[in-house]
Chain A
Amino acid sequence: MALQKNHIDRTFREKLKNFSDPAPQEVWEGVTGYLIQDRRRSRLFLFVRIAASVAVIISLGTAYLLLRNPSAINRQAGEHTSIPADTSATVPVTENRQALLSETRETKSAKKGEEFMAAKDNRTGAGNNTRQKTGTNEEIKMSMLRQAVQPEEHNTQAYDLLAVTAMREIQGITSGSAGNDRPDMDRVSILKEKPVYEIAAPSEKPDRDLIVLIDENTEANKIRSDRWAVGTQVSPVYSYRDLGSSAVKTDALSYYNTAESGMLAYAGGVNLSYLTSKRLTVQSGLYYSRMGISIEHSYASTNLGPGNIYSDAFQYSTIANSSGQIRTGSGNIESYYTSGWSGDKTEGHSMPAGETFNQLNLQFNKSEIIQNFQYLEIPVILKYKMIDRRLGFNLLGGMSTNLLLGSNAYLLNGNDKEKIGRTTDLKTVNYSSTVGMGMDYALSSRFNLSLEPFFKYYLNSINQSADIKSRPYTFGVFSGISFVF
């Protein structure tokens, strides 16, 4: 009756070779239902990808169009490097409006415009000479003022006077006696060899639109010179994940949502920004982000060893979780870790009660296993400035490429943290989207502080499992400082 041991193998092989059992009807119904859902998801995902592509194209196109406008202004200004021929001199200018305003305060008591101008000339040492600048910002202002108020070339003097008046309004200079807002006719007389016209009553204020035009031109100057910024940011983050599953894995999914929880981590990096227009900024950089999952219902046994008849069957642990397989060191027969305990299948997954339990001559103690995922993030973010003040407010959104750097697993035992292995079956490249808002405060003309709450969501699953899809999300608040140049 004795047999070679391999007779068992042959017996099983031969008897099972031709064994067939009809599949239950519900299996085919499940397959059909899943394939229909999968087709719908594919269509929706295709639509989302198309919509995202359109949004990116529109954003880039808008940025390009906005970027083109400052060049147009440059070209327009370049064509008017000096005031047209009928006026051969420029209005005296000052470099610094702020300085001028301070002068204005000092000389506000001056009764006559001549005294003011003389005092000013003495300070600048320019005597009676006016500084003439061609192709300067101030000449641009003048030419734009003229263009704005008078498209025709003839009869320019009256409009030049109006422009001068508008300039003085802006610069806060009043001339003449108190209560008399008539412009200083001596200044106007620098318009050589042309009769000086009586201008309208002082009650007619300069066109405010002209002032706005000048302000915008000043802003354009600022934009042209300070477009780049480099900065650094750090943020505490809370990370968790969104799970999706195939139809047959819904019980596993509900188990993972019970057994796992989010955790606090951090992110930080350096960024480079480019101001494409007055309100739109494109930012990229390099960030290090750390996130993870806590597997709270875990159990560890450390009394495996020689003599335990099950030790050689537990040469490595596979800890069930939603992210991927946690592989501890193979050949370590002293410790064994597990997450979840599958009892009777009819009851689903059931966790042993209490802090410890015994099974198979092994003492298991309740503990916590955490998975840390480390990524190198390369973001492309668009920021739109809603409020452009010293304390500004902006909206931001964009996408990032995330490169997996590490995926270690740790056992938490009180205050001790012990590395037990790493999570495998993770994708090395993932894509995420970010939305948020931000406040920035200009410390000076070069340095800005920023505070940016954000929400980041991974667009594709980080694991390679076909059954459980894990899409992490994080939210936090970036604080940082940047240098404008």
Chain B
Amino acid sequence: MFGLCQQYSNNYDDAKDILQEGFIKVFQKLRQYDGRGSFEGWIRRIMINTALERYRSETHLYPLTDRDLKKDELIYEEVFESLSARDLIRLMQELPPRYRMVFNLYAIEGYSHKEVSDMLGITVGTSKSNLSRARQILQDKVKRYYDSNEHIS
């Protein structure tokens, strides 16, 4: 679950906070688990909801480091394949919170844009545009690392 919390957070400390809050809720709501679905899946949903609550309660003026976002950027398949899971998590932590949240819920968890828009209180169009921008930013970061021959580790 700590890996999951790191996907949804800005940094290591935030991930610890989400993990702690999430497990407190797990213990407090233990009686509500009725056995339907896996216990791990139930805990996972609690962790994601905790991350969502934290996201909703905080406002970040997150500076976008990539201002010249170009669409239809070439995607470096091999570079992505070569990255470790921990590297991918670090890339995700560099995303603006709104983009990261949409990417997590759509690309990782598999929610539809309609479901994501309901959970985040945004429109379907915003969800789609945020997802697109998240992918562009991830590609751009990978491209920079590839072009500069720097390794993320």
Contacts of A22 in B (CB 8 A): 2
B16→A16 contact, CB < 8 A: no
B108→A16 contact, CB < 8 A: yes
> A466 to B126, alpha carbons, bound, how many Å?
28
> A31 to B123, alpha carbons, bound, how many Å?
36
Asked if A15 meets B88 with Cβ closer than 8 Å, knowing A27-B16, A27-B23, A345-B14, the reply is: yes
B3→A8 contact, CB < 8 A: no
A341→B80 contact, CB < 8 A: no
> A368 to B23, alpha carbons, bound, how many Å?
37
Which A residues from 300 to 337 make CB contacts under 8 A with B?
309-310, 312-313, 315-320, 325, 327, 330-331
Q: Is A195 an interface residue (CB 8 A)?
A: no
> A312 to B86, alpha carbons, bound, how many Å?
31
B57→A20 contact, CB < 8 A: no
A26→B2 contact, CB < 8 A: no
> A312 to B107, alpha carbons, bound, how many Å?
21
B85→A312 contact, CB < 8 A: no
Partner of B85, one of A16, A319, A467: A16
Contacts of A9 in B (CB 8 A): 106-108, 135
Partner of B20, one of A5, A18, A31: A31
Q: Is B122 an interface residue (CB 8 A)?
A: yes
Contacts of A21 in B (CB 8 A): 2-3, 6
A338→B57 contact, CB < 8 A: no
A38→B23 contact, CB < 8 A: no
Contacts of B13 in A (CB 8 A): 345
Minimum CB–CB distance for B123 against chain A, Å: 7
B1→A12 contact, CB < 8 A: no
Contacts of B112 in A (CB 8 A): none
Contacts of A359 in B (CB 8 A): 61, 63
B108→A13 contact, CB < 8 A: yes
Contacts of A309 in B (CB 8 A): 67
Which B residues from 111 to 153 make CB contacts under 8 A with A?
121-123, 126, 129-130, 135, 138-139
> A28 to B118, alpha carbons, bound, how many Å?
32
Partner of A465, one of B24, B57, B60, B135: B57
> A232 to B7, alpha carbons, bound, how many Å?
58
Q: Is A51 an interface residue (CB 8 A)?
A: no
B107→A19 contact, CB < 8 A: no
Asked if A30 meets B139 with Cβ closer than 8 Å, knowing A21-B2, A325-B56, the reply is: no
B61→A341 contact, CB < 8 A: yes
Which B residues from 74 to 132 make CB contacts under 8 A with A?
74-78, 80-81, 83-86, 88-89, 92, 96, 98, 103, 106-108, 110, 121-123, 126, 129-130
Minimum CB–CB distance for A326 against chain B, Å: 10
Query: For this complex, into which size category does the number of interface residues on chain B fall?
Result: 35 or more
Query: For this complex, into which size category does the number of interface residues on chain A fall?
Result: 35 or more
> A314 to B41, alpha carbons, bound, how many Å?
32
**Nearest chain-B residue to A331 (Cβ)?**
B123
B14→A467 contact, CB < 8 A: no
- Which of B7, B75, B81, B130 is most buried by chain A, counting CB atoms within 10 A of its CB? B75
Asked if A315 meets B59 with Cβ closer than 8 Å, knowing A2-B74, A8-B80, A9-B107, the reply is: no
B129→A312 contact, CB < 8 A: yes
Query: Interface residues of B: mostly helix, strand, loop or mixed?
Result: helix
- Which of B23, B96, B123, B138 is most buried by chain A, counting CB atoms within 10 A of its CB? B23
> A7 to B74, alpha carbons, bound, how many Å?
12
B107→A320 contact, CB < 8 A: no
B16→A24 contact, CB < 8 A: yes
Contacts of A225 in B (CB 8 A): none
> A16 to B104, alpha carbons, bound, how many Å?
11
A315→B123 contact, CB < 8 A: yes
B10→A345 contact, CB < 8 A: yes
Partner of A23, one of B1, B11, B98: B1
Q: Is B70 an interface residue (CB 8 A)?
A: no
Q: Is A65 an interface residue (CB 8 A)?
A: no
Q: Which residues of B contact A (CB under 8 A)?
A: 1-3, 6-7, 10-11, 13-14, 16-17, 19-21, 23-25, 27-28, 53, 56-61, 63-64, 67, 74-78, 80-81, 83-86, 88-89, 92, 96, 98, 103, 106-108, 110, 121-123, 126, 129-130, 135, 138-139
Give 15 new A-B contacts, CB below 8 A, not counting A3-B77, A7-B75.
A8-B75, A8-B107, A9-B106, A11-B88, A12-B92, A13-B107, A16-B3, A21-B3, A27-B20, A248-B21, A313-B96, A313-B126, A345-B10, A345-B11, A465-B53
28 pairs, CB–CB < 8 Å, chain A vs chain B: A1-B74, A1-B76, A3-B77, A5-B75, A8-B107, A8-B135, A8-B138, A9-B135, A11-B81, A12-B103, A13-B110, A20-B2, A21-B2, A31-B27, A34-B20, A35-B27, A35-B28, A246-B24, A248-B21, A310-B64, A313-B96, A313-B126, A318-B56, A318-B59, A330-B121, A338-B59, A339-B59, A342-B59
The 8 closest A-B pairs by CB, nearest first: A9-B107, A19-B85, A3-B75, A19-B3, A21-B2, A3-B77, A21-B3, A23-B2
